[in-house]
Structure 1
Amino acid sequence: MINSVRYERENCDRMQFNVLNESTVSEDNIILEGESPLTPSVTISGSSTTNTDEAVGAGNILCTHDGVLLKKASAEHIADLNNSGSLSLVEYGPPRRLFVEWKPNENILIADDSQDQEDWALVDTISRRSRTISECKAFNTKPMETSTGSLKARCIRTCLEDLSGIEVKHRGQTIRFIRKLDGTLHSEFFFQHGNADLFVRSMRQLHIIDFIPSTRSGEEYVILTTETQKLKKTFAELDIGEIKASSVGNESWLPNKVVGFLANIPDYVSHKAPPRVRPGSLDDKERQIASPPSDKYQMVGLAGSSNTSGSRSRGSSLDKSPDLDSSGMENVKEIDEKIIAPLPERKPMKRGLPLNENQWLEFMTPECRVSDPSRVLEIIFKGGIKPSLRPEVWKYLLNYYQWNDSEVEKIARRKEKSMEYYNMKAQWLSMTATQEANFSGYRDRKCQIEKDVKRTDRSLEYFAGDDNPNLTTLQGILMTYVKYNFDLGYVQGMSDLLAPILAIMENEVDAFWCFVGFMDMVFANFDIDQAGMKTQFSQLRSLLEFANPRLFKYMKTHDSDNMYFCFRWLLVWYKREFANEDILKLWECLWTKLPCPNFHILISVAILDQETDIIIESKYQFTEILKHVNELSGNIDLQRTLETAEAIYYQIKEAEHLPNEIRQIIGEPLLETADHRDEDNSSPQSFDDGFDELVRELTPEEMKRKQELLEEACERSMFLQYM
């Protein structure tokens, strides 16, 4: 009996998954579609393949494309160059592994001659004849050889884990696979009929690859890790368009790029070694936990965190400790209490009054230079700025004006910057429709800006109402920034950073250059290499463990110590956590870069510190912690948070035996040692091996649970009700 599946040729671009069970298709069968030389076969189904090396057992063909010429490969495949074959993506497992395979067409069997002109594809399990010589000429193939061993050897098969990316060139007709090891070319294929669009599209729908911007011709895609593939699949199930379009008090935004790069953050944070514990009475040796050798392993031994807290969180007391799930964790608690020295007492801090007009005038010299910038910054940090002074003082904080500029120099600077701005603006205003059509990168950014501007801070009077000219100005500034910094371009979330600046400046040129100054501080949050977000998550984890080990231990024992539930806070500097007036006060405080360079991360530590007792006494599990943290939006006391963050800073700074890792985060000088040990470990990404650790392999259940927590955190942080 023939088992078959068919689909209409004109709808071949519609992906059909798991059409056939792998047990119903033999390894000698392949799906063909009419074998018309003008129409390629692109199929997504279940099938099986031969066993070779790593690809052991039956394989499941996820997608395949016929009529693909081999153009470049290793020397062993030189005989097959310019031969036609089928390019497939095949899944093997368990454990799940994906392979790209190319097989010469002589492996293909067809049902009969009459099928060549049919509109349906047929898969059968009955052995048929091989192609005739005339058919081989028509399909640019060689007559089938009888040796099955030689056919198997000629199959090109590579694991996706060994590849770093894919390049699509020449209007989609050429596809190139790049090695991960050295970045060299692994193989190149040419699509005779049609192009690689459907093959690439199916891989993107399967969340195996992701598009990356490139200045070179053609398209480039990065191959995602297995963990990231699962996260991408989770994000795809969210109706982001509906979330962003929903009408609520504070309209939601969701950076598309964040969806892409957030998936990679857990790789860095979850597998990152915990920060160094505070040295204690055991010969004052600094001890730390080394990174697990892979994501399949976890440490057994010291937890790297402490139950002893020097913090004074809301109603906290030192004798309280989280419920531990096992006697093993109780032992860890006892060991930690012996080796970790407590922090000094946290001293209360008080906020001051905002910078006012009289003070500002007192700091002005006759030439209108600022006489004491350091003192001005101190006043702003402690109390903010009077609203009437913000349009002037913000220009200094955001590096538009220099503190030593005279009035004449400021006028000259504004004139120069105004000309520069309008020259850049004219570049995109003068682009023709044809130019836009041929410039996909620019066109995509413009489209995204137009969408986001319509829903940015519309609850504020400055941007309220239909046909508001301020929205046009907002769009113009963002478009000009694309021309100013095309490598970064525009990412959703940037409009949220610009809107308050424009509302304060009420001037297009001034707002643009102040926005440039702000972006110079936070650009790494949006950059494609994700370095900024990765570093901040690691720093937040280190600071929380050092400043509030009680909460950190609780989060660690409840699978919540990854910190990526705070990504929205750090991405746009708490824009969605505070009311508009509060966010202005917070930003101008952070722009002073006092009392340390990473004070914005200490704000996160302070918020979590204030919630310590609620989280622990309520015995929140992972889901409840995540929900609670996201529901804090609009309910955080800014003044108390700033006072707590400042108090934590001085508490950490005054601690004895402050490790270099923490010193670097808060901007303190690094310590030199005789053996230069600290010099080698000054980077927050380096950890020395103070003692040996045992490792054990995680069970399948533990790995599954770990992945579920990872996906849930990312998914929950993106739902509207938690925004």
Structure 2
Amino acid sequence: MEDLNNASPRPTSGGQTSSAHIHQSDVRFQRGVAPVSSPDLPAARLTLPGVMDAEGRVDESRLRMHIFKNGGVSPSERGLVWRFLFGMYPCSSTALERSLLQEQLVERYRVMKRKWQQFLPSAVRLHLNGTDAELVAAVRYFDQRQAQAKRQTQDQPQEVQDRLAFLELQAQILFERITFDQGELREAIRIIDKDVPRTNRDLSYYQGEGSGNLLVLRDILITYAAFHPDVSYAQGMNDLCSRFLEVLDSEVDTFWSFSCYMEKFSKDFRADGLHRKIELEAALLKELDPPLYAHLVTDNMESFTFCHRWLLLGFQREFEHSDALRLFEILSCDHLELISQQVDRARYQERLARRCSAEDSPKSKLQTINTAFTFELFICAAILLDNREFLLRCRDDVQLIQFTSSLQGTLDLNSTLKKAEHHLYNYCKRCAWDYMNGHCREHKSKDEDFLYQLRSLLVLK
């Protein structure tokens, strides 16, 4: 079965579609009930000062730096920022190009969803047992929304209908050869139908008529599983995708943004990928606190699996909800990549140092920065180190799991960020400073400049 990771359309420079046209096909609802396509964003709001130019192009490095140094973005700009941050909109695209791109994304998603619905018509509707009154109401609200969307589509001007019909034909050709494995897709839908009702319904986004968004979430997850068979669906994806749906408030934009995110992180939902991340967390803690590491790898506590949910869902339940959204975008801005040039420079100087000191100390091994230690691992380490004394009293995995459960919704984000940044800075400093200060002294001023730049990039404002 073909994987569509590379099927996302890119804006074409010749499109002259006005921004007004793209939103004529939108279905408008009150906040908390997701429209099919993007919510209308007036031109006055389509700006990110210092990040976006007059034509709407975004400086990606400035955007990521803006997110990291400000500890996230304001709720008013979050929806727009996430469309760039997670790759739905190319940062190099202009506002005019994104109008055409949006129409392409809408039609492609509709064709994709219709294709699996025609393949498994019995799975179109969520089967209810009648005992969950809220879920029954959610289905009713969802059906009402679908009917309203159909009426509004029929009321569009003929010019718009013709243009969208052409884009629909292109999408049909693109996905014509895609086939599904019926058994695998049915199994994915079975798990999705169990997980979606377990999504956090205490969020205001799923309250009242917003409960219909649970069915929107279901359609997004099934469409993703159908067209990404190598990934399909794994438990936890509903919570992750729900985060996108709440922020973007759009079924189509959520699907494409979630798909772009999963291109990079789908491996975390496979056993080998998450096992690798847990191994890295253990290795980092060994660097930062060898005694605590040694305690946590005793016979009764053989792994760091109690950190599983933290790393899989980006600490979604450990912080207050709005803070969890901020942390997710901070982690997703890949700020460690922003210092990659400085790290590469330090490595180059290290190679020079090795040559300079080869005759004096041929057996010396200089420690290097492990760039596999991502910031989320330092967040996890900061939480562990902050609860060091309690963890040292734990004697088995049951106590560790009880410990992680006790932290839900209790952590302070700003404090945790500062501690994680402090551990990251000290780790980088320890890896580079000793040898820089003792080898190739003629490069000392440059080394100090490197550390100054590193510190300035890591400071949270």
TM-score normalised per structure 2:
0.60
Mark the CA change 1:580 to 1:407 in structure 2 (over 3 Å): closer, same or farther.
same
Mark the CA change 1:438 to 1:611 in structure 2 (over 3 Å): closer, same or farther.
closer
Question: Contact (CA 8 Å) 1:474, 1:502: kept in 2 or not?
Answer: yes
Of 232, 244, 256, 1:513 maps to: 256
- The aligned counterpart of 1:431 is 119
Would you say 1:594 and 2:370 are equivalent positions? no
For residues 191-241 of structure 1, the C-alpha deviation after alignment (integer angstroms, 9 at most, x for no partner) is xxxxxxxxxxxxxxxxxxxxxxx99xxxxxxxxxxxxxxxxxxxxxxxxxx
Would you say 1:605 and 2:346 are equivalent positions? no
Mark the CA change 1:568 to 1:456 in structure 2 (over 3 Å): closer, same or farther.
same
Q: CA deviation at 1:592?
A: 0.4
Question: Contact (CA 8 Å) 1:552, 1:561: kept in 2 or not?
Answer: no
Would you say 1:464 and 2:214 are equivalent positions? no
Of 105, 109, 112, 1:421 maps to: 109
Specify the code of the residue in structure 2 equivalent to 1:648. Answer: H
Would you say 1:376 and 2:63 are equivalent positions? yes
In structure 2, what is the Cα distance between the partners aligned to 1:470 and 1:505?
12
Mark the CA change 1:593 to 1:392 in structure 2 (over 3 Å): closer, same or farther.
same
In structure 1, what is the Cα distance between the partners aligned to 2:414 and 2:123?
51
Question: Contact (CA 8 Å) 1:525, 1:532: kept in 2 or not?
Answer: yes
Question: Contact (CA 8 Å) 1:368, 1:405: kept in 2 or not?
Answer: yes
In structure 1, what is the Cα distance between the partners aligned to 2:113 and 2:46?
38
Of 386, 408, 412, 1:637 maps to: 412
- Note the residue ranges of structure 2 that are not aligned, 5 or more in a row: 3-44, 125-179, 338-371, 435-461
What SS does the corresponding residue of 2:90 show, helix, strand or coil? coil
- The aligned counterpart of 1:360 is 48
Would you say 1:544 and 2:278 are equivalent positions? no
Determine which structure has more spread, i.e. the larger CA radius of gyration. 1
For residues 480-529 of structure 1, the C-alpha deviation after alignment (integer angstroms, 9 at most, x for no partner) is 112220221112211100112111111111111111122223211223xx
377-386 vs 629-638, greater mean Cα deviation: 629-638
Specify the code of the residue in structure 1 equivalent to 2:62. Answer: R
Question: Contact (CA 8 Å) 2:46, 2:80: kept in 1 or not?
Answer: no
Question: Contact (CA 8 Å) 2:306, 2:400: kept in 1 or not?
Answer: no
What SS does the corresponding residue of 2:335 show, helix, strand or coil? coil
- The aligned counterpart of 1:553 is 294
- The aligned counterpart of 1:244 is none
What SS does the corresponding residue of 1:468 show, helix, strand or coil? helix
Mark the CA change 1:581 to 1:467 in structure 2 (over 3 Å): closer, same or farther.
closer
Would you say 1:568 and 2:309 are equivalent positions? yes
Mark the CA change 1:657 to 1:412 in structure 2 (over 3 Å): closer, same or farther.
same
Alignment of 1:624-703 (within 5 A): 624-656=399-431
Question: Contact (CA 8 Å) 1:541, 1:561: kept in 2 or not?
Answer: no
Question: Contact (CA 8 Å) 1:378, 1:594: kept in 2 or not?
Answer: yes
Alignment of 1:34-183 (within 5 A): none
Give 1 or 2: higher helix fraction: 2
In structure 2, what is the Cα distance between the partners aligned to 1:650 and 1:566?
22
- The aligned counterpart of 1:490 is 233
Question: Contact (CA 8 Å) 1:525, 1:571: kept in 2 or not?
Answer: yes
- The aligned counterpart of 2:87 is 399
Question: Contact (CA 8 Å) 1:577, 1:632: kept in 2 or not?
Answer: yes
In structure 2, what is the Cα distance between the partners aligned to 1:384 and 1:399?
17
In structure 1, what is the Cα distance between the partners aligned to 2:79 and 2:195?
25
Mark the CA change 1:658 to 1:608 in structure 2 (over 3 Å): closer, same or farther.
farther
In structure 1, what is the Cα distance between the partners aligned to 2:432 and 2:247?
45
Specify the code of the residue in structure 1 equivalent to 2:92. Answer: N
In structure 2, what is the Cα distance between the partners aligned to 1:555 and 1:448?
33
For residues 118-163 of structure 1, the C-alpha deviation after alignment (integer angstroms, 9 at most, x for no partner) is xxxxxxxxxxxxxxxxxxxxxxxxxxxxxxxxxxxxxxxxxxxxxx
Specify the code of the residue in structure 1 equivalent to 2:332. Answer: W
Q: CA deviation at 1:439?
A: 2.2
In structure 2, what is the Cα distance between the partners aligned to 1:647 and 1:566?
21
Alignment of 1:164-313 (within 5 A): none
Question: Contact (CA 8 Å) 2:296, 2:304: kept in 1 or not?
Answer: no
Tell which has more relative contact order, 1 or 2 (C-alpha 8 A, sep 6+). 2
Mark the CA change 1:639 to 1:391 in structure 2 (over 3 Å): closer, same or farther.
same
Of 188, 201, 217, 1:474 maps to: 217
In structure 2, what is the Cα distance between the partners aligned to 1:641 and 1:451?
33
Specify the code of the residue in structure 2 equivalent to 1:375. Answer: R
For residues 233-272 of structure 1, the C-alpha deviation after alignment (integer angstroms, 9 at most, x for no partner) is xxxxxxxxxxxxxxxxxxxxxxxxxxxxxxxxxxxxxxxx
Specify the code of the residue in structure 2 equivalent to 1:603. Answer: I
Q: CA deviation at 1:419?
A: 1.9
What SS does the corresponding residue of 1:458 show, helix, strand or coil? coil
Q: CA deviation at 1:392?
A: 0.4
In structure 2, what is the Cα distance between the partners aligned to 1:484 and 1:403?
25
Specify the code of the residue in structure 1 equivalent to 2:55. Answer: E
Mark the CA change 1:448 to 1:459 in structure 2 (over 3 Å): closer, same or farther.
same
Q: CA deviation at 1:363?
A: 2.6
Question: Contact (CA 8 Å) 1:558, 1:621: kept in 2 or not?
Answer: no
- The aligned counterpart of 2:346 is none
For residues 701-723 of structure 1, the C-alpha deviation after alignment (integer angstroms, 9 at most, x for no partner) is xxxxxxxxxxxxxxxxxxxxxxx
Question: Contact (CA 8 Å) 2:318, 2:408: kept in 1 or not?
Answer: yes
Q: CA deviation at 1:557?
A: 4.9
Mark the CA change 1:534 to 1:615 in structure 2 (over 3 Å): closer, same or farther.
closer
- The aligned counterpart of 2:266 is 523
Question: Contact (CA 8 Å) 2:73, 2:326: kept in 1 or not?
Answer: yes
In structure 2, what is the Cα distance between the partners aligned to 1:445 and 1:423?
20
In structure 2, what is the Cα distance between the partners aligned to 1:592 and 1:624?
34
What SS does the corresponding residue of 2:200 show, helix, strand or coil? coil
Q: CA deviation at 1:560?
A: 3.1
Coordinate RMSD, CA, aligned = 2.9
Identity across matched positions, percent: 31
TM-score normalised per structure 1:
0.39
Question: Contact (CA 8 Å) 1:491, 1:526: kept in 2 or not?
Answer: yes
Q: CA deviation at 1:576?
A: 2.5
Q: CA deviation at 1:475?
A: 1.2
Q: CA deviation at 1:657?
A: 6.5
Q: CA deviation at 1:364?
A: 2.2
- Note the residue ranges of structure 1 that are not aligned, 5 or more in a row: 1-213, 216-356, 660-723
- The aligned counterpart of 1:580 is 321
In structure 1, what is the Cα distance between the partners aligned to 2:243 and 2:321?
8
Mark the CA change 1:620 to 1:433 in structure 2 (over 3 Å): closer, same or farther.
closer
In structure 1, what is the Cα distance between the partners aligned to 2:210 and 2:93?
38
For residues 369-425 of structure 1, the C-alpha deviation after alignment (integer angstroms, 9 at most, x for no partner) is 12x332221221132001010110001110111222111221122122222211111
Specify the code of the residue in structure 2 equivalent to 1:523. Answer: S
Mark the CA change 1:526 to 1:656 in structure 2 (over 3 Å): closer, same or farther.
closer
Q: CA deviation at 1:639?
A: 1.3
Mark the CA change 1:427 to 1:658 in structure 2 (over 3 Å): closer, same or farther.
farther
Give 1 or 2: higher strand fraction: 1
Q: CA deviation at 1:550?
A: 3.0
For residues 602-635 of structure 1, the C-alpha deviation after alignment (integer angstroms, 9 at most, x for no partner) is 211111011113333xx33224344223321222
Specify the code of the residue in structure 1 equivalent to 2:188. Answer: R
Question: Contact (CA 8 Å) 1:367, 1:406: kept in 2 or not?
Answer: yes
Q: CA deviation at 1:556?
A: 3.8
What SS does the corresponding residue of 1:537 show, helix, strand or coil? helix
- The aligned counterpart of 1:615 is 391
